Structures are given as structure tokens and as C-alpha cells.
């Protein structure tokens, strides 16, 4: 199981609490995790990546294992610790705005 | 006994304000969607329990929410607004071509006759329609495909389609307005559109009487006279007696004819309301006095309505979708401010009271009159 941490507003939108656990087929990549996330929580479509281009929304970041993976290819394998479920993929909103 | 339900969209959530027909005591519910910008909340005329909300955020983009119980509970529905075909370009602020990009939904207009049909006006300006209660959205691309599209340019608030008026006498006719392209009308249910800006004069564009390029802030219509339209333009209050084919200025004795809102009395089609704002550079009331102006003559002759409104040190704005009118007798008039007040008048504007004083900045106000 892959662990995912959503920003608070998206947890509210998806009506979930805390860390999520998702079944994700290998290879585990940002794209495959987001596909699985959006399949299970369709209300999140468009809120993390653009509906049409599938580009990450500019004020969101993907962190894992103390690394910023936001600029990696969405098809690059995520770290083994994420793929094994030891560490979460953190989807983070920028600290900005009012 | 009649009830009213005021739907307020704010910078940080939606609020639902309810009262009985006296409109003296109010219950306040909210914030719904706390922390999100709520550009617009509007109920269906077919079933007032069906309410839609446009929820958006700089972080997470657009969400459309739907309620089937008058706003007590909500469910997210479709939020995919994909332009039809290759989007092409419009003009950017500096006059260069800029690709059409979806940013947010400014206005939701439920059908007058079909519960599951709802229209959305979006930024960058386009018109969308859903026929399944907001689950799926299709662009009415004849509007953006009108030959003038590449010449449209954003106003300071973005290139938004902010006004949608459905003609109750003709289901094929819809009026819309875009900042800063102008007003448009379809007579065939949205397949083809024509600009209806003849008579508008805008000094801030190279050709002040151009076919498109006018910064229309809002338009209103009385349902009993669907050919008569009233417009608050960037500057100038305008009137059309021929469904927008031509416009004449009716600013008359207003202290300033800049402003955003304009609305029409529920029972007197020649009685209209505006909130004059000092200028495009100073978005607050003149002299620090918050005054609604009412004309009982369809424009030109205006009276200031001040009873209950702050008459000193008031520097709020009233945004384009932030006024609404109920259909009780006397009709109630409501408006929200960027200072977080929602004011109500239960006597057609003669006197005012704040329903709430300290909401986040109010973006939109609608009202439902409930049996």
C-alpha cells in the first residue's frame, strides 16, 4: 500500500482524515499514484494536476523522503521507501497567499 | 409564511443567511467550503433546494458544488471545463496574443425551466452548459468562435464572462457580458452569437465605439420586459429598449457613473439600483459615504438611499455580482461589500440594516424567495 498525505483543503474535499493508503500497480510513479488517487476520489480530479494537460498545479509540490520530487518526470519511479509504503508521498500546498 | 435565503459567496467561503418574510432576524450558516474563494452561489428557479456553488482556489483550481437541500449538504460535481477544439488566442494586457486558459467559474446560471441544465460563465471568457446537473460541461463555443475572439482583452480582474441572463419569453435567447469584450446575445440557444455594444462609448480603447472591447461590469433585466436591459459599464450606466441592439446612457445625476452592480426592482420594471463607486482608480464610494442610488424612471433621475448605510469613513467596494433582489412585497434589496458586510433592505431600498458585518470580502450575493 502506498501512503499519501494530502493538504488539509483536499482532505476536506475528499472527506478523508489523515494519511491515505492506496493500492498502486508497479512501477510506482507520481503518475500512477495520482491516477489511483483520482480513481478512488474523483472529486480530486483537476485539483492537483490540470484536467487536460495533467501538469502539476503551480502552487503544489510533491515531497518524499525529504526530497522535492516536483520537477521529476511523472513517470520516474518514486523512491523505494514510497513504493514499499514505508514513507508517504506528500502533496503540499505552497505557503503563500492570504 | 414566506422565507428568504440569501446566498453569499466570499473570499473565504460561502454563507447562507435565512429569514422569514419580515426580514428582520437572520440565521447565519457557514462558512461552507471554508478557506476557498466562492465566486458565486445560485439556486434553481425550478427547485430552490437545488443550489450550485463555484468554489475555487489559487492552489487547487476549480470545484463545482451542488446541493439538493438548499445548501445544508453539498456534493462536488464536474469541474472539467475544457475548451472546444484548439483554444486559440486572445489579446493579453500588452496587446500580444495569449492562449485561452481556463482559470475559474465566475457565474453559474441555472435554467429557468430544466432542473438539470445550468450555465457557467468562466475566465478566460467562455460559456459552458451542463445538462446533467453539473456533472459534465460542454462549451457553447460559437461565442468564443465569434470572429472577434482574438481581439478580446482582459479587464483588471481577468477576462471573465460574469453575466448570464436567460430570456424567460424565449428559451433560445441568452445575453452575456465579458470584461473587457462587451455584451453578446444569442437567438439560437447558444450556437451563434452577436456583439450587442452599439451605443457604448469607452474612452480607454483606441476606437471608443468599437464593436468589441467594452468593459461591461454587469447587466440586469426585469423578467416581464425581456427586451429592456440595464447595464453598469466600467464608466456609464446604460439602457437598451431593443434587446441590446442599441444602448443609450442613463447616468443622469449620479455622483459618479463608475460602479459594478446594477439590479432591477421585483415589481417595478422602471425602478433600478446602482452603487456608485468613485473611479476605476479608487474603488470605494465617493466621499466615504455608502449610498445606493435608485431611479424610478428607468435611469437619468436618481435618488440617494442612505438610511442605515454608513455616511462617513466608508471605503468598501461592491462587486459586480454582489446585489440581489427578492420578490416579496415590498421587495427586499441585498448587497455585499468587500468589507464583509451584507446589507438588506426590506422596503425596496428606503432603509437598510446589516445582516452581518464581518464576513470575508463578499464576492457575490443572490437571494431566493421561498414559499
Q: Which CATH number covers residue B150?
A: 2.130.10.10
What is the nearest CA distance from B280 to chain A, expressed in angstroms? 24
List chain A residues with CB under 8 Å of B126.
none
Surface of B (143-202) touching A: CB under 8 A: none
Range of the domain at B175: 33-334
Interface test mutation site (partner A, options B60, B63, B64, B82, max chain A beta carbons within 10 A): B60
Predicted confidence at residue B130, as pLDDT, reads: 98
Query: Is B58 part of the contact surface with chain A (CB cutoff 8 Å)?
Result: yes
B60–A57 CB contact, under 8 Å: yes
Q: Grid coordinates in use for B257? A: 457613473
Q: In this structure, what CATH number is given to the domain that contains residue A40?
A: 3.10.20.30
Q: Which candidate from A10, A52, A96 shows the least CB-CB separation from B60?
A: A10
Separation in Å, CA of B66 to nearest CA in chain A: 12
Query: Helical H runs in A1-98?
Result: 8-14, 30-40, 80-83
Domain-located, residue B25 = no
Distance CA B264, CA B271 (A): 6
Chain A environment of B79 (Cβ under 8 Å)? 45-47, 51
Here the ipTM equals: 0.93
Residues in chain A closer than 8 A to B100 (CB atoms): none
* CB–CB contact A51 B80 (8 Å): yes
- The answer to whether residue A28 is domain-embedded is yes
B323-B73-B15 Cα angle (round to 5) = 30
Q: Is residue B24 part of a domain?
A: no
Distance from CA of B360 to the nearest CA of A (A): 11
Judged by a CB distance cut-off of 8 A, whether residue B36 touches chain A is: yes
B59 vs A43, A45, A57: nearest CB: A57
The per-residue pLDDT for range A6-49, each reduced to its tens digit, is 999 999 999 999 999 999 999 999 999 999 999 999 999 999 99
How many domains, in total, are found in chain B? 1
User: What's the domain range around A51?
Assistant: 2-93
Residue A24 included in any domain: yes
Are A97 and B59 in contact (CB < 8 Å)?
Answer: yes
**A72 belongs to a structural domain:** yes
On whether residue A51 sits in a domain, the answer given is yes
Q: Nearest C-alpha of chain A: how many angstroms from B140? A: 18
Q: Looking at CA atoms only, how far is residue B59 from chain A in angstroms? A: 5
Q: Is residue A98 part of a domain?
A: no
Which residues from chain B sit within 8 angstroms of residue A13, using beta carbons? 60, 63, 76
- Minimal Cβ distance to A47: which of B34, B63, B81: B63
In this predicted structure, what is the pLDDT of residue B44?
A: 98
pLDDT tens-place values along chain B, 371 residues long:
799 999 999 999 999 999 999 999 999 999 999 999 999 999 999 999 999 999 999 999 999 999 999 999 999 999 999 999 988 899 998 889 999 999 999 999 999 999 999 999 999 999 999 999 999 999 999 999 888 999 999 988 899 999 999 999 999 999 999 999 999 999 999 999 999 999 999 998 899 999 999 999 999 999 999 999 999 999 999 999 999 999 999 999 999 999 999 999 999 999 999 999 999 999 999 999 999 999 999 999 999 999 999 999 999 999 999 999 999 999 999 999 999 999 999 999 999 999 999 999 999 999 999 98
CB atoms within 10 A of CB B287: 12
Residue A59 lies in a domain: yes
Q: Which residue of A has its CA nearest to B76?
A: A43
Chain B partners of A57 at a C-beta cutoff of 8 Å?
Answer: 59-61
Question: How many domains are contained in chain A?
Answer: 1
Provide the pLDDT for residue B371. 83
| Per-residue pLDDT, B86 | 87
Measured between CB atoms, which of B35, B76, B82 is closest to A9? Answer: B35
Nearest CB to A9 within list B60, B62, B79: B60
pTM of this structure: 0.96
The pLDDT value given to residue A95 = 78
Q: Tell which phi-psi region holds residue B259, choosing left (phi > 0), alpha (psi between -120 and 50) or beta.
A: left
Tell me the three-class secondary structure of chain B, residue by residue: CCEEEEEEEECCEEEEEEEECCCCCCEEEEEECCCCEEEEEEECCCCCCCEEEEEEECCCEEEEEEECCCCCCCEECCCCCCCCCCCCEEECCCCCEEECCCCEEEEEEECCCCCCCEEEEEECCEEEEECCCCCCCEECHHHHCCCCHHHCCCECCECEEEEEEECCCCCCCEEEEEECCEEEEECCCCCCCEECCCCCCCCCCCCCCCCCCCCEEEEEECCCCCCCEEEEECECEEEECCCCCCCEECCCCCCCCEEEEEEECCCCCCCEEEEEECCCCCCCCHHHCCCEEEECCCCCCCEEECCCCCCCCCCCCCCCECEEECCCCCCCEEEECCCCCEEEECCCCCCCEEEECCCCCEEEEEEEEEC
A78 pLDDT higher than 90 = yes
Q: Has residue A67 been placed in a domain?
A: yes
Amino acid at each position: 500500500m502506498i501512503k499519501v498525505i494530502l493538504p488539509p483543503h483536499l482532505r476536506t474535499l475528499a472527506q478523508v482524515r489523515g494519511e491515505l493508503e492506496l493500492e498502486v500497480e508497479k512501477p510506482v510513479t507520481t503518475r500512477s499514484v495520482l491516477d489511483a488517487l483520482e480513481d478512488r476520489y474523483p472529486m480530486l480530479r483537476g485539483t492537483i494536476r490540470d484536467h487536460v494537460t495533467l501538469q502539476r498545479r503551480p502552487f503544489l509540490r510533491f515531497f518524499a523522503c525529504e526530497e522535492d520530487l516536483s520537477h521529476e518526470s511523472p513517470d520516474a519511479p518514486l523512491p523505494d521507501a514510497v513504493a514499499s509504503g514505508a514513507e508517504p508521498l506528500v502533496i503540499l500546498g505552497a505557503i503563500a497567499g492570504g | 409564511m414566506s422565507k428568504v435565503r440569501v446566498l453569499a459567496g466570499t473570499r473565504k467561503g460561502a454563507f447562507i443567511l435565512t429569514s422569514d418574510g419580515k426580514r428582520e432576524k437572520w440565521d447565519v450558516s457557514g462558512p461552507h467550503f471554508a478557506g476557498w474563494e466562492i465566486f458565486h452561489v445560485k439556486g434553481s428557479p425550478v427547485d430552490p433546494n437545488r443550489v450550485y456553488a463555484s468554489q475555487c482556489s489559487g492552489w487547487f483550481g476549480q470545484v463545482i458544488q451542488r446541493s439538493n437541500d438548499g445548501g445544508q449538504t453539498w456534493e462536488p460535481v464536474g469541474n472539467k471545463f475544457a475548451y472546444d477544439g484548439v483554444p486559440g488566442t486572445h489579446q493579453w494586457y500588452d496587446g500580444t496574443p495569449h492562449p485561452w486558459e481556463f482559470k475559474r467559474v465566475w457565474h453559474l446560471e441555472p435554467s429557468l425551466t430544466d432542473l438539470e441544465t445550468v450555465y457557467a460563465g468562466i475566465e478566460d471568457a467562455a460559456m459552458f452548459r451542463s445538462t446533467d446537473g453539473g456533472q459534465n460541461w460542454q462549451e457553447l463555443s460559437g461565442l468564443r468562435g465569434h470572429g472577434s475572439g482574438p481581439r478580446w482583452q482582459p479587464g483588471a480582474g481577468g477576462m471573465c464572462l460574469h453575466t448570464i441572463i436567460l430570456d424567460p419569453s424565449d428559451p433560445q435567447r441568452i445575453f452575456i457580458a465579458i470584461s473587457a469584450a462587451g455584451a453578446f446575445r444569442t437567438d439560437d440557444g447558444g450556437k451563434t452569437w452577436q456583439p450587442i455594444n452599439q451605443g457604448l462609448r469607452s474612452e480607454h480603447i483606441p476606437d471608443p465605439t468599437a464593436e468589441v472591447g467594452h468593459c461591461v461590469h454587469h447587466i440586469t433585466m426585469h423578467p416581464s420586459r425581456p427586451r429592456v436591459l440595464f447595464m453598469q459599464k466600467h464608466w456609464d450606466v446604460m439602457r437598451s429598449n431593443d434587446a441590446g441592439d442599441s444602448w443609450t446612457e442613463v447616468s443622469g445625476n449620479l455622483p459618479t457613473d463608475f460602479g459594478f452592480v446594477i439590479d432591477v426592482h421585483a415589481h417595478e420594471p422602471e425602478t433600478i439600483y446602482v452603487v456608485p463607486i468613485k473611479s476605476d482608480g479608487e474603488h470605494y464610494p465617493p466621499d466615504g459615504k455608502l449610498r445606493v442610488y435608485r431611479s424610478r424612471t428607468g435611469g437619468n433621475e436618481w435618488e440617494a438611499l442612505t438610511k442605515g448605510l454608513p455616511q462617513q469613513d466608508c471605503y468598501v467596494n461592491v462587486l459586480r455580482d454582489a446585489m440581489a433582489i427578492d420578490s416579496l412585497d415590498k421587495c427586499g434589496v441585498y448587497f455585499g461589500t468587500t468589507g464583509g458586510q451584507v446589507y438588506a433592505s426590506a422596503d425596496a431600498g428606503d432603509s437598510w440594516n446589516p445582516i452581518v458585518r464581518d464576513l470575508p470580502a463578499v464576492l457575490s450575493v443572490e437571494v431566493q424567495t421561498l414559499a
